[in-house]
Amino acid sequence: MSLITQLAQEAKAAAYELAVLDEGKKNQVLQDMAEAIRANKQKIIEVNQKEVARAKDNNLEASMVDRLILNDERIEDMAKGIETIVELPDPVGATREFGKRPNGLDIRKMRIPLGVVCMIYEARPNVTADAGALCFKSGNAVILRGGKEALDSSLAIAGLLQDVLEKHKLPKALITVVPDPDRGLMQELMNQRDYIDVIIPRGGEGLINYVTDNAKVPVIQHFKGVCHLYVDKEADLDKAMNLLLNGKTQRTGVCNALEGLLVHQAVAGDFLPKVAEALAEHKVKLHVDERTSKWFPDADVIEESGYGEEYLDLEIAIRVVDDMDHALKHIARFGSNHTEVICTEDKAAATRFQRTADASVVMVNASSRFSDGSQLGLGAEIGIATTKLHAYGPMGLESLTTEKYLVNGEGQIRS
């Protein structure tokens, strides 16, 4: 049997044990995990420093090196992250009534873990602890396949978590780091339909596409964030300006930053000169169509098909639209099903926008930057789904579970 099949099989067997563990016990284990990470801070940093030095020698991109680094603060954040998960309610085992049939059968639904979750991610060793803890709390075994640059750090962290599992007489296979970064093994992992229930890739669009194209196991995708702010004719323009600046400039390299501004023609004359001034001050590069260029003489002029870029930088596309329907059409064509925002004081318009805009998070008078698990009250987040199957938007513990039917009778048979 191949290494990967063996790891996957062991994970599935381990998940079976975890599925019925009660919340109190899971929380004890998690608390011990947080403490183990704190107590072994120095050991983790030593392993990590060697890895960071190697990455620098290999001329890894600076942003990648930055993500790789574990220092005192980041390790404390990992431990605290696990403690946050202790505080979250356990979704597993919750039962709801689903009706009584005329023949007396009582139907309920019970929330259960998915089983085995596989995370495929790039060089962020902290995902090992975050995903390990989220999957554990939700009753799932997890197989972690991180970038090769962070493999030693990931193995060190997972080793600590596994020691805690052993201490509690739980199988180590509940948290597994694939110890070999070979791409062939990754493909094998993506084929394990009998043992792995879902793959959640986290990283750039290239990685997501690669996993989606090649996996035989179901994949939950986070493609990209092309988020728009639509400024309605009934907008409070001061609010609109705050939302624009916060969405575009508070942090740029993130998926919930604004990449597009749509402005109702009725307020363009009032709003856009202020926008030009404010964005110039923040050194934001502008892309506009012919019609909109009137307000932005120095901006890059694009064709309609040039909209929809994910800049991940101090750049934004701006468009004057005829009305809300025009804005919604723009979003339907160029949005990425991530987050869309309307700024308006008109409740009916807000409701229609929220109903119609095809995105996982649709906001009224709030910054797109709130579109993440912790800001929406999920606690910790395992990812954000931009496809609709299973989960849509920020995914918390509940997204790592499903429901089964419970049927209770007194011997009923079908006629």
Within residues 340-379, the interface with a copy of itself by CB under 8 A covers 350, 354-356, 358-367, 369-371, 375-377
Site for a copy of itself in 58-77 (CB under 8 A): none
The answer to whether the CB of 273 falls within 8 A of the CB of 396 is no
The span from the CA of 194 to the CA of 47, in Å, is 35
Task: Work out whether 280 is an interface residue with a copy of itself (CB under 8 A).
Answer: no
Task: Work out whether 107 is an interface residue with a copy of itself (CB under 8 A).
Answer: yes
Residue from 16, 41, 64, 148 binding a copy of itself (CB under 8 A): 16
In which residue are the tokens 């009923």 written?
412
Task: Work out whether 36 is an interface residue with a copy of itself (CB under 8 A).
Answer: no
The span from the CA of 143 to the CA of 9, in Å, is 11
C-beta atoms surrounding 53 within 10 Å:
11
Residue from 2, 3, 6, 20 binding a copy of itself (CB under 8 A): 20
Residue from 24, 99, 206, 253 binding a copy of itself (CB under 8 A): 99
Task: Work out whether 19 is an interface residue with a copy of itself (CB under 8 A).
Answer: yes
Q: How far is the CB of 241 from a copy of itself (least distance, A)?
A: 10
Task: Work out whether 194 is an interface residue with a copy of itself (CB under 8 A).
Answer: no
Number of residues near a copy of itself (by CB under 8 A): 73
In which residue are the tokens 């019925």 written?
20
Residue from 181, 218, 306, 379 binding a copy of itself (CB under 8 A): 218
List Cβ neighbours of 334 (8 Å cut-off, separation of 6 or more).
226, 228, 260, 307, 308
What CA–CA distances, in Å, run from 162 to 205, 249, 312, 393? 31, 41, 37, 31
User: Amino acid identity of 41?
Assistant: K
21: closest CA among 165, 159, 129? 165
Stretch near a copy of itself under the rule CB under 8 A, chosen from 60-68, 73-81, 278-286, 396-404: 396-404
Of 184 and 377, which has the nearer Cβ to a copy of itself?
A: 377
Here's the x/- map for a copy of itself, 304-343, by CB under 8 A: it reads as ----------------------------x-----------
Give φ, ψ of 354 to 5 degrees: -65, -35
Q: How far is the CB of 152 from a copy of itself (least distance, A)?
A: 32
What's the angle, vertex CA 391, arms to CA 388 and CA 394, rounded to 5?
A: 110
Of 49 and 98, which has the nearer Cβ to a copy of itself?
A: 98
Q: 49: which 2 tokens?
A: 């420093």
